[in-house]
C-alpha cells in the first residue's frame, strides 16, 4: 500500500504468483481496510482458492503489532492498528510491515538476494527506504523501525530535510535527489543543454534527467555520477556498520537500470580505502521492481507461523 495505489498479489503454496490486482488507495483508514478486503475477495474469486493469510507492506513506520505509527506518503494513517483491523475483518492471520521490509523479503526469497545471508536492500524512491537481513534473519529493530537509512546524515552542513535535520542521505541519493542535484548543477552552469531542453531551471525534475540518461546524454550522465558518489558514500557507511556482503538497489529510481547501477558501483568503489582487506561487496539491482513490496508481503504472511 503506497501513496497512490494498493497492489495485491496472491501467492500459491510453491511461492509463485497465482493472481494480481490493484486499486486506488482511499484516503480514510477505514476505507483502506475495506479496499484491502475487496482486493483479497477479488483475488480469491479470480484464482478460485481461499486465502490463508494476508500480508501488507505499508509505507511508513510500522511496529511489531502491525500498528502504522506515521506514514509520510499516507498522511491519514496515524497510530492505526492496520493488522488488527484486517485480522478482525478477514477472520484470518494478517501481518503488516514497512514496505521496504516486505520488498527485502521478496528479493531474499525469489530475487537478487537468493542464497545470501547478510544483505542491505536500499529502495531509492521519493526518499530512501531500507530493509536489512543479517545472519539470514530479517531485522526489524526494537520497535519495528530499523532501516531508516534515508535519514542518516551525510553532510551536517547540507540542506534541511523533511525530518528537520540537515544533509540526510535521501537529499543526495533518492529519486527526488536526481532533480535537485540537476537544478543545482544548472545554477552553477554545468548543464546548459538540460536547461535548454526543459526550458527553465526550476522546472527540472528527476524524470527529465532519467529520460536523458536513457539517451546517453553526457550532462545527465555527469549528474547521475554525482548521485552515484553520494549513494556510494551512504552505502560505505552502511557496509562499515553492518558488514553485509551485498547491497540490492530497488525502488523507483532502480528502473533506470544499468547506468544507475554502474554510477553507484563507481561511487562505492571511490569511497573504499581498505580494498584487499575485506571481500568485495556486491552491489546489484533488485529483481522484482515496483511489485516487490506486495510480493514480499504475501511471502511473509505465508512464512511466519
Candidates 79-87, 168-176, 209-217, 275-283: pick the segment binding Zn ion (CB under 5 A). 168-176
Is-contact 45 85, C-beta < 8 A? no
- Pick between residue 22 and residue 163 the one whose CB is nearest to Zn ion: 163
Using a 10 angstrom Cβ sphere, with 0-12 exposed, 13-18 middle and 19 or more buried, the burial of residue 4 is exposed
In whole angstroms, the minimum distance from the beta carbon of 241 to Zn ion comes to: 18
Angle at 30 between CA 26 and CA 35, to 5 degrees: 50
Within 143-162, the residues that bind Zn ion by CB under 5 A are 151, 161
Is-contact 57 27, C-beta < 8 A? no
Candidates 52-60, 163-171, 217-225, 254-262: pick the segment binding Zn ion (CB under 5 A). 163-171
Residue 302 DSSP SS3: helix
Q: How many residues bind Zn ion (CB under 5 A)?
A: 4
In whole angstroms, the minimum distance from the beta carbon of 163 to Zn ion comes to: 3
- Pick between residue 105 and residue 172 the one whose CB is nearest to Zn ion: 172
In whole angstroms, the minimum distance from the beta carbon of 61 to Zn ion comes to: 13
Residue 200 DSSP SS3: coil
**Binding flag, residue 168, Zn ion (CB under 5 A):** yes
- The Cα 208–Cα 231 span in angstroms is 20
Q: Compute the chain's Rg from CA coordinates.
A: 20
- Pick between residue 126 and residue 265 the one whose CB is nearest to Zn ion: 126
- Pick between residue 161 and residue 242 the one whose CB is nearest to Zn ion: 161
In whole angstroms, the minimum distance from the beta carbon of 161 to Zn ion comes to: 3
In whole angstroms, the minimum distance from the beta carbon of 78 to Zn ion comes to: 19
Which of 292-303 are b and which e, b meaning 16 or more Cβ less than 10 Å from the residue's Cβ?
bbbbbbbbbbbe
- Pick between residue 151 and residue 190 the one whose CB is nearest to Zn ion: 151
In whole angstroms, the minimum distance from the beta carbon of 173 to Zn ion comes to: 12
Query: What HEC string does 264-296 produce?
Result: HHHHHHHCCCCECCECCCEEEECCCHHHHHHHH
- The Cα 155–Cα 179 span in angstroms is 18
- Pick between residue 123 and residue 168 the one whose CB is nearest to Zn ion: 168
**Which of 22, 163, 222, 242 lies at the binding interface for Zn ion (CB under 5 A)?**
163
Interacting residues with Zn ion (CB under 5 A): 151, 161, 163, 168
Amino acid at each position: 500500500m503506497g501513496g497512490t495505489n494498493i497492489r495485491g498479489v496472491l501467492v500459491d503454496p510453491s511461492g509463485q504468483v497465482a493472481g494480481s490486482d490493484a486499486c486506488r488507495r482511499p484516503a480514510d483508514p477505514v476505507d483502506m481496510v475495506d479496499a484491502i478486503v475487496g482486493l483479497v475477495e477479488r483475488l480469491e474469486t479470480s484464482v478460485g482458492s481461499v486465502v490463508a493469510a494476508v500480508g501488507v507492506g505499508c509505507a511508513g513506520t510500522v511496529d511489531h503489532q502491525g500498528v502504522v505509527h506515521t506514514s509520510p506518503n499516507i498522511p491519514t494513517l496515524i497510530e492505526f492498528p492496520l493488522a488488527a483491523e484486517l485480522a478482525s475483518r478477514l477472520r484470518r492471520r494478517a501481518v503488516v510491515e514497512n514496505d521496504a521490509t516486505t520488498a527485502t523479503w521478496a528479493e531474499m526469497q525469489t530475487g537478487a538476494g537468493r542464497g545470501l545471508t547478510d544483505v542491505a536492500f536500499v529502495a531509492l524512491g521519493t526518499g530512501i527506504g531500507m530493509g536489512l537481513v543479517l545472519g539470514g534473519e530479517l531485522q526489524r529493530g526494537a520497535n519495528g523501525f530499523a532501516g531508516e537509512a534515508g535519514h542518516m546524515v551525510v553532510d551536517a552542513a547540507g540542506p534541511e530535510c523533511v525530518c528537520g535535520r540537515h544533509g540526510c542521505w535521501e537529499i543526495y541519493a533518492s529519486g527526488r535527489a536526481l532533480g535537485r542535484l540537476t537544478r543545482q548543477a544548472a545554477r552553477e552552469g554545468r548543464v546548459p543543454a538540460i536547461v535548454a531542453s526543459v526550458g527553465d531551471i526550476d522546472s527540472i525534475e528527476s524524470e527529465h534527467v532519467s529520460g536523458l540518461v536513457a539517451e546517453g546524454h553526457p550532462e545527465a550522465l555527469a549528474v547521475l555520477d554525482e548521485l552515484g558518489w553520494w549513494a556510494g558514500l551512504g552505502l560505505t557507511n552502511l557496509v562499515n556498520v553492518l558488514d553485509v556482503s551485498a547491497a540490492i538497489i530497488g525502488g523507483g529510481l532502480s528502473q533506470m537500470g544499468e547506468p544507475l547501477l554502474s554510477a553507484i558501483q563507481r561511487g562505492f568503489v571511490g569511497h573504499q580505502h581498505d580494498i584487499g582487506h575485506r571481500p568485495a561487496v556486491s552491489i546489484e539491482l533488485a529483481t522484482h521492481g515496483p511489485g516487490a513490496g506486495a510480493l514480499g508481503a504475501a511471502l511473509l504472511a505465508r512464512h511466519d507461523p
